[in-house]
Amino acid sequence: MCLPQIVYLFKNANELDKMLELMPTLTGTVICIMKVISLTYNVEKFKMLLRQTCEDWDSLLTIEETQILTRYAENSRKFTLLYSICVIGFVCCYAFLPLIEPILDIISPLNETRPRKMQHSMDYVVLDLEKHYYLILLNTYLGYIVCLMIAVATDTMYVVMVVHICGMYNILCNRLEKITTYDNYTYQHDEIGRRVRHCIQLHKRIKLFIETMESTFALFLLFDIGGGFLLHTSSCIMIVIRIGSSEIVRYVALVIMQSCRLFFNSWAGQQVIDHSLEVSIAAYKAVWYNISVKTQKLLILLIARSQKPTQITMAKLYIINLQGFSTVMRTSVSYCTVMISLRESS
């Protein structure tokens, strides 16, 4: 699926419109390939993340903590379902519109066959598109299915990891707020000190999980966000070029899909920032004035460490949050305007 597009790109390197028309699908294909390569390369780190996730579930102390993490896991399940429906729906809208002409030839035939269209521009070199139309069509749809499976599986797994981090932060806050609560309402200083130390260890564990996750998904996010930016920009340009044509629907679907994908990823990153800042607030809510001075110093250390928000970054180059989402959207529109101006001037 990728090679015929690259061949077509090189053959039409001097024609800007044809290059812009090819960019969305070629970029999407490259993104999916690089996602697989990056996660395959970091498979051991990925296994480490999965093992730590299982250990986090085993380390829960109370039924309430289990309920908290279960609630976040349920949110992950709902997100996976919603994300899958959105992405599959928009891609199907893009991919199946070219089939309208062959279907109309069967339902309402004309004196002549309607022109056959492919989902995107390509050049198979040794195969004639007219003679082998259905064979190439089948191959293209198989490529779309594989890319969809890769995109949905990898993106949802990434967000599931992020939501798990938020759940562990919530559990840490819950432990801090109830650090001096006992059935007899007495404050056992040794036990409270032990609990504070466990909270500090849990905070370190969460931060280590985030660092491992960042290194595992660094290349993944670099191509996902960088390539997604190119996909979004080129699709916006094609909307302007195809105004008045039925094909505009396809590119509108791509723009909405990519905007939703970037928003979901940015929203997940923002949730990590917000949850990490709640740790210091939860520590303040603890009855710190009734604990020993030694334990108070440990609590102050935890508060100081949690003042700086935890952030998920794209290879340390871009912070994944809602502010970054708005910046990317504005930049994409700016580049779109520049490219349209260049096209008109040429």
pLDDT of 183: 44
pLDDT higher at 143 or 100: 143
Asked whether residue 339 carries a pLDDT value surpassing 60, the answer given is yes
Maximum mean pLDDT: which of 46-50, 59-63, 94-98, 237-241: 46-50
pLDDT higher at 270 or 125: 270
Return the minimum-mean-pLDDT range out of 62-71, 80-89, 97-106.
97-106
Average pLDDT over residues 34-44: 90
Q: pTM (2 decimals)?
A: 0.86
SS (H, E, C) the chain: CHHHHHHHHHHCCCCHHHHHHHHHHHHHHHHHHHHHHHHHHCHHHHHHHHHHHHHHHHCCCCHHHHHHHHHHHHHHHHHHHHHHHHHHHHHHHHHHHHHHHHHHHHHCCCCCCCCCCCCCCCCCCCCCCCCCHHHHHHHHHHHHHHHHHHHHHHHHHHHHHHHHHHHHHHHHHHHHHCCCCCCCCCCCHHHHHHHHHHHHHHHHHHHHHHHHHHHHCHHHHHHHHHHHHHHHHHHHHHHHHCCCCCCHHHHHHHHHHHHHHHHHHHHHHHHHHHHHHHHHHHHHHCCHHHCCHHHHHHHHHHHHHHCCCCCCEECCCEECCHHHHHHHHHHHHHHHHHHHHHHHHC
Asked whether residue 88 carries a pLDDT value surpassing 60, the answer given is yes
Average pLDDT over residues 90-116: 72
